[in-house]
Amino acid sequence: MKTRSLVRLILLGFVSIWLATAIFHAYKPLPAGLNLVGAQQPVDQVTFLTDITYARQGEENSRYMEQEIFDATLEMIANAREFILVDMFLFNDFQGQVSEDHRNLSAELTQALIEQKQQYPSMEVHVISDPLNTVYGGRFSEHFQRLEAAGITVTLTQLARLRDSNPAYSGLWRLLFKPFGNSEASTVPNPFREGRVSIRSYLALFNFKANHRKLIISDQHEGTELVALVTSANPHDGSSAHGNVALRFNGPAVLDLLASEQAVLAFSSKQQININVPTAESTPTTSMTLQVVTERAVEDALIQIIDKAQPAESLDLAVFYLSDRHVVRALKRAVDRGVVVRVLLDPNKDAFGREKNGVPNRPVAHELTQAGVDLRWCATQGEQCHAKWLLHRDARGQATMVLGSTNFTRRNLHNLNLETSVILRGAAEEQTMQAGLAWFEDQWLNRDGRVFSADYEVFADSSLKHRLLYRFMEATGLSTF
């Protein structure tokens, strides 16, 4: 009896410590500088950039691609003389089960950074990324090794400092596995490509969290100005055909973005940003403003924008993942008020050669269409509609555009992942706003014989099983979205 009582006491003690660990790390204070709400800063040079993939009507299984984002990124690197900071989530050549032959983005970015550093040895260059690119310490990254050998600082984000999105599992991981770290090994198959890794890589993977940011900051014009680019695109070979969007901009908002990146360096390493490059001091030629928002501040901004929309005004969304209950309910409220809501969603059927079950977008699409939202699917052929984009046009001729790294999910919007988005405000007739609207209309209407999207009925899914699965996964964090 004493032995049984002792065992029960030990088990009760362990479960209590596990629950306390899980609860603390789900709600602990964030590192300083996260959840940033930047000021609405003046901006006069802002460009909307896209990567698009489509088929041609009448050409079965055709696939055409037109890409701007990483061409602009490489141009920013080539023009830099004093400073470059890159923060990208997926920075690798992993291809998955089906290879994409279009573009070796990771090698291009690595080589461009090395060549610029060699040409200007005193240049300060930082690369920040996610430990997924080393399979959480289970294998080396050739790209990161080459960058470091060239004198470029590479910082892998310390994800354990962030809140836990999958607390039931992460509480156990922190107690039983985290203290042992990780190292290169060949115990089990690499989940992302050929080769093998340690079991501890898998154990870290199941925490389901990331530095999901995607941006670059560099000096331009012989070191007289800083410019930035915030995007939904990754320098990842397996993602090279994805549809994505970006904004490249100047002005004081770049300094807000830089401060948000210094915050990541502060809790992940001892690196400091040491630059004196100013933002351009000029009178803005437009009335547009640009605001940097990170982590949960993105959700707060989205809800505010959606809830401000009035009857007969327009809300257009193009989103890779849409599952956050706060956003879903806000869209339903908007429809009830008479707002014209159009949503373009990825069908969640493809993930690097693996077939997906449509969760979460298809159950959410069923809910939204039942509420009166007009919805279409991206007509993907192995690639993904990877944008995270919203445009509101009001009755006064003003527009608000949101884009960046942030999927519209609990993990991306609730201070769990690291995320960066930007909000552009100004007249709907401004060129950048018109470019964003034209990009969406091209896809919604399949203009000029290009097939971007399909009717809702093509991937409609009203199954109770998938609706329950989505709600369970979104609520618990036992998911990859």
Please check whether residues 227 and 352 belong to one and the same domain.
no
Mean pLDDT, all residues of the chain:
95
For position 365, what pLDDT does the model report?
A: 98
- The yes-or-no verdict on residue 145 having pLDDT over 70 is yes
- Helix axis angle for 464-476 and 361-370, nearest 10°, is 110
Please check whether residues 89 and 225 belong to one and the same domain.
yes
pLDDT digits (tens, 9 = 90+) for 286-315: 789 999 999 999 999 999 999 999 999 999
- The yes-or-no verdict on residue 278 having pLDDT over 90 is no
Please check whether residues 226 and 330 belong to one and the same domain.
no
pLDDT digits (tens, 9 = 90+) for 367-394: 999 999 999 999 999 999 999 999 999 9
CA 213 to chain centre: 5
Domain assignment of residue 345, yes or no: yes
For position 101, what pLDDT does the model report?
A: 63
For position 277, what pLDDT does the model report?
A: 66
Please check whether residues 218 and 325 belong to one and the same domain.
no
Alpha helices in 274-405 (DSSP H): 296-308, 325-337, 361-370
Please check whether residues 295 and 238 belong to one and the same domain.
no
pLDDT band for position 95 (cuts 50, 70, 90): confident
Please check whether residues 186 and 256 belong to one and the same domain.
yes
- The per-residue b/e assignment along 19-54, b for 16 or more CB within 10 angstroms, e otherwise, is eebbeebbeeebbebbbbbbeebbbebbebbbbbbb
Q: CA 286, 307, 330, 211 torsion: positive or negative?
A: positive
Range of the structural domain that residue 381 is part of:
289-476
- Which domain CATH number covers 420? 3.30.870.10
Please check whether residues 316 and 264 belong to one and the same domain.
no
Q: What angle do CA 202, 203, 204 make, to 5 degrees?
A: 90
Total domain count for the chain?
2
CA 53 to chain centre: 19
| 261-267: average pLDDT | 98
Please check whether residues 327 and 396 belong to one and the same domain.
yes
Domain assignment of residue 20, yes or no: no
For position 99, what pLDDT does the model report?
A: 59
pLDDT band for position 352 (cuts 50, 70, 90): confident
pLDDT band for position 1 (cuts 50, 70, 90): low
Element holding 47 (H helix, E strand): strand 46-56
Please check whether residues 257 and 293 belong to one and the same domain.
no
For position 353, what pLDDT does the model report?
A: 66
DSSP string, 449-480: GEE-EEEGGGG----HHHHHHHHHHHHH--S-
Contact (Cβ atoms closer than 8 angstroms) between residue 398 and residue 12: no
| 129-157: average pLDDT | 97
Q: Which residues contact 43 (CB under 8 A, 6 or more apart)?
A: 249, 250, 251, 253, 284, 286, 288, 289, 290, 424
Cis amide prior to 360 (ω within 30 degrees) = yes
Please check whether residues 206 and 64 belong to one and the same domain.
yes
For position 335, what pLDDT does the model report?
A: 98
Please check whether residues 331 and 230 belong to one and the same domain.
no
Please check whether residues 94 and 226 belong to one and the same domain.
yes
Do the strands 46-56 and 244-249 form a parallel or antiparallel pair, or are they unpaired? antiparallel
Domain assignment of residue 199, yes or no: yes
